[in-house]
Structures are given as C-alpha cells and as structure tokens.
Structure 1
Amino acid sequence: MDVSAGAIGTTASRAPVGQRLHDIDALRGFALLGILVVNITFMASGYPGNLVTDPAFSSVLDDAARSLSAVFVDMKFYILFSFLFGYSFTLQMQAAERAGAAFTPRMLRRIAGLFIIGALHTVLLYGGDILMTYAVVCLVLLGMRRVHDRTALRVAGVLYGIVLLSLLASGLFVDSSAFLPTRAEALANAETATAAMLGGWGDVIGHHLSGLPLLVLQSTTFQGPTALAMFLLGLVAGRRRLLAGVSGHEPVLRRIQWIGFPVGIAGGVVYALGGGNGEPLAVGVSAATAPLLTAAYVATLLRMMHGQRFGFVRSALAPAGRIALTNYLGQSLLGLLIFSGIGLALAGSVSPVGTTGLALLIYVAQLALSAWWLRHHRHGPAEWALRQVTNGGTAGTGAGGRPRGGITRRT
C-alpha cells in the first residue's frame, strides 16, 4: 500500500481537480456494468436466488455465460463499488469543509437518506439491495474516520480475514445439507419465486420482502464486513489521494496487472468449477482472489483512460459514474418493468445469454442517457434528492449566489 501510494500519488498536487474526479467517476461508471450483469440474473428468475440452475436453460451457451460471469464478474464489482464508496467519503469530508459545515451532522443526514432510499428500493424495485447495508456500515466508517492509516488497514485486513476464515470453516466443518433445502426443494422454491415475480404489485412486493431474512444474514456475515473492509481501504486511498495525478505510465499499474489477472482469473475458475455461491469453499476462494482481479481491472482502466488510443473511455464512463445512484436505481426499475408481472412479465423466460446481452444493452443506453442528462443538469434525480437531505435542504447556493457543497461541474 505504501509503495503504490507513493508511485501513483506523487503528482497529486499537480493534478487538475476535474481529472481526479473524472477518473473516480469513470471507475464508478465501469463498476455499474458488473453490478448490472450480476443483479439482472436475480431480477430475471427465482432460480439464482435459490442457488440452483433453471433446468430450462442448460445449453452449452447458457453454461458458458454463467461460467464467464462467475470467473470475471461475480464479487469483483461489488468490491470496487465499496472501495470507491470509501474513497468518496473523503471527498464528502472535503465538501463539508469547503461549505463550512459540520461534517458529522451532514453525514448522518446523508446516511439516513441513503438508508431510506435503500428501503424503498428493496420493497418496490429489487430485493437484493445493497444501499441499506452501505448506510449501516457507513456509520462505523464515520466513527472510524479519524483513525490512523495503519490502524484502518489493519482493521480492514482483520475483517476480511475473518470473512475468509468463516467461509473456510463453513466449508470444512459444517454440513450445509443439514440446513439447506434439497435440490428438489430448491427447485420448487425457485419455481414459486418466479411465479411471484410474474404477479402484480402485491406478489412482487411480497417476493421482495420474503428475501429480507437472507439479506440481513448476508449483510451481517459477509457483505457488511466485506464492505467495511473496502470502505477503510478506500478511506486510506482517498486520504493519500491515491487516484490523483495518475499518468497511466506508473510501473505499479503494470505490476498489479501481472499479479492480479492470473491470480484473480484462476480464483474465479476455481469458484465456477467448485459450485459457485452454493459452496462456502468456492466462495472463499473467490473472496480471497477477487480483490486482485478487481485491482487489475482498475489498473487496466487507468492505463487506458490516460493513453492516447483509449482516452475516450473516461469520457464515455464518467457521466454514468457521476450519477451512479440514479443509474443503479434505474437498473432495478428496468428489471422490474422487463421481468415482473407489472411490466412485460419475462421472468423465467430469458436465458443467461439473453440476460447478459440485455444487461449490455441497458448499460450502453445508460452511458448515452447519462451524458445527455448531464449536459442539461448538474445532478441526477437521486443524487439531487440525497444532496438535499445531506445539506438539510440548503444545497442550492451559499453567500453571493455561489454553489456550495460538493464540486459542481459539467462533463
């Protein structure tokens, strides 16, 4: 961490503010793609949530689509999103300082707003929400914001280590068949869940609420600790301005690629062949190696964005990342309208290949719509609402009519 901080952050003081923020926005925009590819499978069918494969889609192409997602996508983008959340936490601190506002009350309002948005999202749009988990975990981050970098890194390491050890122990010493349904029961539950998706509002909301116990369990045992570990890493990176002043030619970026890609892909292959989410040992291997593949993705994207041939990538991704909350909620809304009985009622009828292709189409459309929106507005709708809550309804202008709060800019 110290090496990469020095290698990447040495020109931070000379980096234009716009470049630094656009890099972060672009990384966040890239993360939206992976989040959608994973989430859309759960929006499209009740089978993934019950850890079984839909017998109707068992062709070679369908198996290949599932395997490619397991190797290259699953867990990797959740980690990136969490890291960027922690990094952006430092930007919120800077925004409060510029606005002359007390940070703690401001952040508590933001956390409350995020939790409310997440609760509405869970009930109305998609039962696999992560925003409520982020809001709760952010309370811990808020309390730890003044700890030394070394302490933050140690806590992050311990938390992630506990997650890995718990998965290892579960795989080696716990008989999962004692508390998990049989395959026949899981298939029946999946069929029932898919039928609920195809119903009206009452059925859909009931389906979302039925998943709350599992959501709470995952948040307390895996997603919450993992998110906090990544938040803390992002906090340290933000303090050190690790993503500031990147030129794309730093040797550390190439080293991250050389290590991250082979180790991360190998871990993804083991995860896919080992049974995926249904096997704790396979999940443990993925959890241990996914951060390396995520880091390799980030290194590759940074090198591309600052190169002459692929510099357009940052301009393409940054608008979507700047209004990531709106896009995240928009993905869930589209999933509801496409797959549930409220809309086109396609749940259970789209193959893994089809859902992947649909995810790519939606993502490309979001890139274009985000760029168009930000040519006319400073914030996305969800970002504007959260900003109002964060600033106590005074997010407009400060003295003299100047914008206050976070940095305002157009892309």
Structure 2
Amino acid sequence: MNVIAFSMPANAYLNPRVWGGTGVLETALWATSFVLVEDKFRALFAMMFGAGIAILLGKRGAHPLRAHYARMGVLLAIGLIHAVVLANNDVLRIYAVCGLLLPLAVNWPVKRLLWAAGLLIAGQLAVSGYYAWAWLDYWHQRAGGMPVDPLPQEMAERTYGSHPDTTAAALARGKESFAERLVRRVSEPMLQVRFIVASIPSALAAMLLGVALWRSGLLAGEWDTRRAVRLARACAAVSVPVLLALAAWNILAGFDPIVTAANALVLSAPFDVVLGVGYAALAMAVFGGALKDRAITRRLAAAGRMALTNYLATSTIFAALFAGWGLGLFGEVSRAEALLLALVPIIAMLAWSPPWLARFRQGPAEWAWRSLASFTRLPFRRDRASRPLT
C-alpha cells in the first residue's frame, strides 16, 4: 500500500479519483485494496509486534522492562528519522509509543485482552463517528438537493478530494529536493505528534489482539488447522460483506470526499481489524500446516525475520523510484503502474533475505536496533562474538 503514498498525491491513498484512478481497472484495483488489503495488513503487522513483545517480555533475563523500554526508545528514534527522511506515514513511531504501554497489559488473561482491544476500537469509533455522522448528514442533505452551505464540501475536497490547489501543492512536494524535504519535515513537528496520537487506539488494540492470539496458542502454532480455518472463515463472514458494501457506496457516490473519508477512516475500521485476525488465522493454518516445510514458507520466514530492514529498504526503493532526488516518477504513474512497481521491493526482499540470513545472524537494521538498545555490539556474522560498543 505504501507505493500509493510514495507515487502520487496523498489524497489518492483514500480516494482513487484524486490521481490515476478514473478507469474501470483503477476502480477495481482500489476496491480490491479497500476490501482486502488497506489497514488489514497494518493491523496484522501490529498484532505481530504485540506478540513479539509478549515473547520477549516472557523470557527470563536481568531487567526485562529496562531492556524493553530501551528497545522502544531506539525504535522511536528510528521511526522519527524514517518519517523525516523517507516516509510520512511511518508506523514505527506508533509502535514504539504503544510498546511503552503494552507491558501494563501483557500478562492479562486472554479474555481481558480481547475486551480491552474491543473497547479501544469502540472508543475510537465513537469519537471519530461523532464527526463522521455530521459529515454524512451534510452529504445526505446535499445529495438530496437541500440547500446547504458549500464551504464544508470545499473543505472536504481540500482534505480528502481532488481540489486543484491541494493536488498542485502535493505535486510540488513530490518534486522537492532531498534538502527541501528535510527542512519541511523538521519544521512540522506537530504533524508527527498528531499522527502518532490519532493512531494509538487502533494500533494498541491490534497489539493487544496479537498478545491474546499468542497467549491463546494461535500464533504459537498450537491450534490445529481446522480450528484456525474456522476462525478465518468467521472473521471473513463478519467483515467482507460490510467492506464490500462500503466500497460500493463509495463508487455509487462518485467517490465524494465525505463518503470516502467516512468509510475509509471510520466505518471500515473495526472490520479491518477483524479481517486482520482472519488473515492471522489463515496464515497459521496454511504456513503452519500444509506448507510448513516448503521452500516458499522458509523464504517468507526469512523475509519476516528481517521485517525492520525490509520495511526501511522498501521506503528507500520507493524514494529512489518516485522522489525528486531519485528517478522522479512521482505523479507520473497510474494506480495500476504504481502497484506493479510495488513488486520491485517485494521481489527484492524475497531474494535477498534467505542468503543474508545464511551468512548473518539478523538483518542490518535489526542488528543496529538491538545493539543500540543494549549498548553492546551484538554478534552480526554467524561466527562473531559480542563485544561492548566503543
């Protein structure tokens, strides 16, 4: 999904009519992404992060909380640098902040974890829904031909639609030099703060679900295939019909920015998380079952063990393709072309991860993260011992 954020104006991430999305193919690609991809895999990634913290905190060692908070502090620094230098929508900042809170709940019973996740999602839905229903009430009045103030519609077009001024400003930012980007991003600290704060409830809810799925045995590989498939089917049955209906509403409304934003940011949110849980169950059923010992599973596992390295490398590749200091393809491709270019980092990470891990203990970003957090130069090559940082 990040290829859309790198390759075209920001509003196109939610609204395909903003850029490169007017044809049948582009609409179908958007709908497929909206129903099956967008925010589902972000939730799944957060679940895995939560499960990883539960695993690490469950290990015996001196000062486990001190080590955990050191890891989160370094991760926050990495995320802030990543956001300034490459990716406005960096998730590492959110994970680091949520990770600071997670030890408070990591030992809760599974039911309490599930309730807490549900309450966080419901709370965010209530708060954001309060504004969304006002947007939709205005849209309903305007769509019904009632006289309304045009200013809210213009504001919606500027924020979530294809207002020419917003698009022109986005295209200008996409063509800026590396130095210009650094100056702009450093001068916008409150944007980073608002992004993190707004994202905490959904990310923390997904992390709590990840801990619950680990503690329940699903992510630990303790469920049999049939049980995992049942959960995946149930999650799909609950979420996919609603997401299809929301996608259809967007299309029938002509991707009105009010409808598009309300559906993408508010109404779809709980169903995105539910489908993310379904994907987790399906992955465990498939890759922990019939494909457990296959070469493709080992290759995917290697890419997963280098998740931080591959995440940062993907941003680097996209910047090289689209940024003004790279090939400068920003605003030059359609949605279909952008999604095809997303295959570049996908193929690259699947190609380089296994041979890298055959020689090194972990990815370079993982090694740097853990070494900085422990103030120790940890083993990197498979035949090297650790020694203090100097």
TM-score with structure 1 setting the length: 0.78
Q: Is residue 199–residue 341 contact of structure 1 (8 Å, CA) maintained in 2?
A: yes
Q: Structure 1 unaligned runs (5+)?
A: 1-37, 405-411
- 1:202 equivalent to 2:202? Answer no
Deviation track 1:208-246 (CA, whole Å, cap 9, x = no partner) reads 45776455334323x211111121222233334432244
Structure 2 residue aligned with 1:121: 82
SS in 2 for 1:145: coil
- 1:170 equivalent to 2:131? Answer yes
What's the CA shift for 1:263?
A: 2.9
Q: Structure 2 unaligned runs (5+)?
A: 140-150
How far, CA to CA, are the matches of 1:281 and 1:322 in structure 2?
34
What's the CA shift for 1:206?
A: 4.6
Choose which of 31, 43, 48 in structure 1 pairs with 2:11: 48
How far, CA to CA, are the matches of 2:208 and 2:386 in structure 1?
30
Structure 2 residue aligned with 1:315: 298
TM-score with structure 2 setting the length: 0.82
How far, CA to CA, are the matches of 1:55 and 1:308 in structure 2?
41
Choose which of 204, 212, 220 in structure 2 pairs with 1:244: 220
Q: Is residue 45–residue 348 contact of structure 1 (8 Å, CA) maintained in 2?
A: yes
- 1:112 equivalent to 2:86? Answer no
How far, CA to CA, are the matches of 1:289 and 1:41 in structure 2?
22
How far, CA to CA, are the matches of 2:68 and 2:385 in structure 1?
22
Structure 1 residue aligned with 2:349: 366
How far, CA to CA, are the matches of 2:192 and 2:163 in structure 1?
17
Deviation track 1:264-319 (CA, whole Å, cap 9, x = no partner) reads 22232233234488432453331121223222222222222244467524212101
Structure 1's 68 and 207: CA in aligned 2 closer, same or farther, altered over 3 A? farther
The amino acid across from 1:181 in the alignment is M
- 1:90 equivalent to 2:50? Answer no
How far, CA to CA, are the matches of 2:183 and 2:356 in structure 1?
34
Aligned CA RMSD, in angstroms, stands at: 2.9
The amino acid across from 2:238 in the alignment is V
Choose which of 248, 256, 259 in structure 2 pairs with 1:273: 248
Matches within 5 A, 1:198-347: 198-206=175-183, 208=185, 213-221=190-198, 223-246=199-222, 248-249=224-225, 251-275=226-250, 278-308=260-290, 311-312=293-294, 313-347=296-330
SS in 2 for 1:347: coil
Deviation track 1:165-206 (CA, whole Å, cap 9, x = no partner) reads 223322213569649725367332222222222121133335
How far, CA to CA, are the matches of 2:268 and 2:186 in structure 1?
28
The amino acid across from 1:302 in the alignment is M
Q: Percent identity?
A: 28
The amino acid across from 1:152 in the alignment is L
Structure 1's 248 and 360: CA in aligned 2 closer, same or farther, altered over 3 A? farther
Q: Is residue 236–residue 278 contact of structure 2 (8 Å, CA) maintained in 1?
A: yes
How far, CA to CA, are the matches of 2:323 and 2:112 in structure 1?
46
Q: Is residue 197–residue 204 contact of structure 1 (8 Å, CA) maintained in 2?
A: no
Structure 1's 56 and 308: CA in aligned 2 closer, same or farther, altered over 3 A? closer
Structure 1's 303 and 237: CA in aligned 2 closer, same or farther, altered over 3 A? closer
Report how many aligned residue pairs link the two structures. 359
